Amino acid sequence: RRVNDHAIMIGRRPRRLVQFRPMCALTETVTPAPLLLLAFVATIANATGDPLGRHHSPATQITPDNVTQLQPAWTHRNGDMAAAEGAPSSVSAQSTPILLPQAAGGHLVYCTPFNRVIALDPQTGRERWTYDPKVRRTSERPYRCRGVAYSPVPQVESAGACQHRLYTVTGDRRLIALDARDGRPCEQFGDRGTVTLAEHDRYGLEEVGSSSPPAVANGVVVVGSSVIDFAYAEAPRGVIAAYDAITGEPRWTFDPLQGATGTGAANAWAPLAVDDERDLVFVPTGAPSPDYYGVLRGGRNGHANSVVALRRATGEVAWAFQLVHHDLWDYDTPAQPVLFDWRGKGGERVPALAQVSKQGFVFVLDRRDGKPLFPVQERAVPGSTIPGEQAWPTQPFPAQPLQLLSTRIKPDDAWGLTFWDRGRCHAAIAALRNEGIFTPLAEQPTLLFPGSLGGANWGGGAYSPQTQRLIVNVNAAPFVAQLIRGTAAGTKQDHPVAGQKTMHVTMQGTPYTLAVGPLLSP
């Protein structure tokens, strides 16, 4: 999932990349396979390349001339997929491995869907050690772990345990510190290596979890969360929390919805980015609850759907930039911000931040103050037909080159394998409420494009400092959504799975249930 300067994807097998014409004839769901690790992973001890979120590898041994000659050196299977109970969609192998420096053991380390941390010999694939936090395996919610965080701790004696640490957050909300050399819990951190986060006892796996690794910066570990933001009107709050990297003592918390009522979530489930020089932590926040109905949460909804820069030492807001006002489409900020040096017209170097979005936009901001470095326009968007809904009258659109895909689908864009197929797709699109990307949901079937899968999603962008190119994997799958009065059987799913035409989202505490599914041909 990283890119080097030859634009070669390395690491685990990437998802199949499909470029869609606007159509209703195809959606693609990739069935997770057992995690396969190949022994040409770059020597980077960060799951996203570096704390700047660049997904960039400095390795130069793999080139266009020799990439076709690569052969698998070894395969490691952790067994979590085979051990999973329940629907296959509930377990996903999504971890990016990291290669530790020799002082930390030189292991290749990754986490499994059930949050086991495994250290491998990078040359042979042999297991060196395994740590199992024994996460309960009975939840209907998805199990996934996208990586662990590594950090040396200079304050610890060189001969002592846990001078080199791995930090992981489990799906049941425990922050764990391990000695990177042998996988043993760090006894001086929290309760013998574990800090039980506040949501562990207050909520179950079905409401609050974790998928992304924490961010470690200057002696502080910062943790986001994954909150169920579509099942309830007032979901758990998406609090960002910071802890002392040595002792696990709480440092500070930040609630993106501070002062707001009748809502919850606005959590950061994607990885955070860190600017050590400016002592800033950049937080990509998600939608407020419930995703598709905003009558109970009027206004812009605080710092939801934003990039928020926090002071590392205190959690104070340095600046914030909102990508969606009063979200009604589940347009979470889905990926880690990418930090890089932007070159102005006069050649000056400006510390910048690029944030990809589910809308298929890229926002480029000055990371010192959050001001756009490329123009952003507030454009008028359609109003809502739902009683009491005050949809925000404008939404931010970046300059045209930073829009990754067309966000309009017309009936004449329909595609099909046959004349009959195209005709049915043409009619299906024509029958939908469809006024562009920010068309609020209604009691009539409404087109969602991009839908809640994006545009961009959690893979984010890969930035090459040498070429100054940002490479982004883009989804383009249209969905149909409809608000239906009354309640229906709920679901614990994030999105419709393969073969499922319609998923019902309960939004308990509102007058509506949401029916949503992919736009398909007959």
Q: Which two tokens stand for residue 136?
A: 């309960």
Task: Determine the 3-state secondary structure of 82 from DSSP.
Answer: helix
The reply to whether omega before 290 is within 30° of 0 (cis) is yes
Q: Are 186 and 169 in contact (CB under 8 A)?
A: no
Q: Which two tokens stand for residue 72?
A: 């698998």
Beta strands 376-380 and 306-311, pairing class: unpaired
CB atoms within 10 A of CB 443: 14
Q: Tokens 């962008």 identify what position?
A: 461
The Cα–Cα gap between 212 and 227 comes to 13
Cα–Cα separations (whole angstroms), residue 12 to 129, 366, 393: 21, 33, 43
Q: Is 372 exposed, middle or buried (0-12, 13-18, 19+ CB in 10 A)?
A: middle
The rounded Cα 317 to chain-centroid distance in angstroms is 21
The reply to whether omega before 450 is within 30° of 0 (cis) is yes
Among 360, 355, 352, 289, residue whose Cα is nearest residue 322: 355
Task: Choose the catalytic residue: 80, 327, 330, 332.
Answer: 330
Q: Are 499 and 466 in contact (CB under 8 A)?
A: no
CB atoms within 10 A of CB 389: 18
The Cα–Cα gap between 180 and 158 comes to 13
- In the chain, what are the helix, strand and coil shares in percent, each to the nearest 5? 5, 30, 65
The answer for 6, left when phi > 0, alpha when psi is -120 to 50, beta otherwise, is alpha
- Beta strand segments in 37-147, E: 98-99, 108-111, 117-120, 127-131
The Cα–Cα gap between 16 and 26 comes to 14
What are the φ/ψ torsions at residue 413 (nearest 5 degrees)?
A: -80, -5
Beta strands 164-169 and 174-179, pairing class: antiparallel
Question: Torsion angle of alpha carbons 136, 140, 146, 149, nearest 10°?
Answer: -30
The Cα–Cα gap between 282 and 232 comes to 27
The rounded Cα 451 to chain-centroid distance in angstroms is 15
Alpha-carbon Rg for the chain in angstroms: 23
Q: Which amino acid is at 181?
A: R
330 a catalytic residue: yes
Which positions are annotated as active-site residues?
330
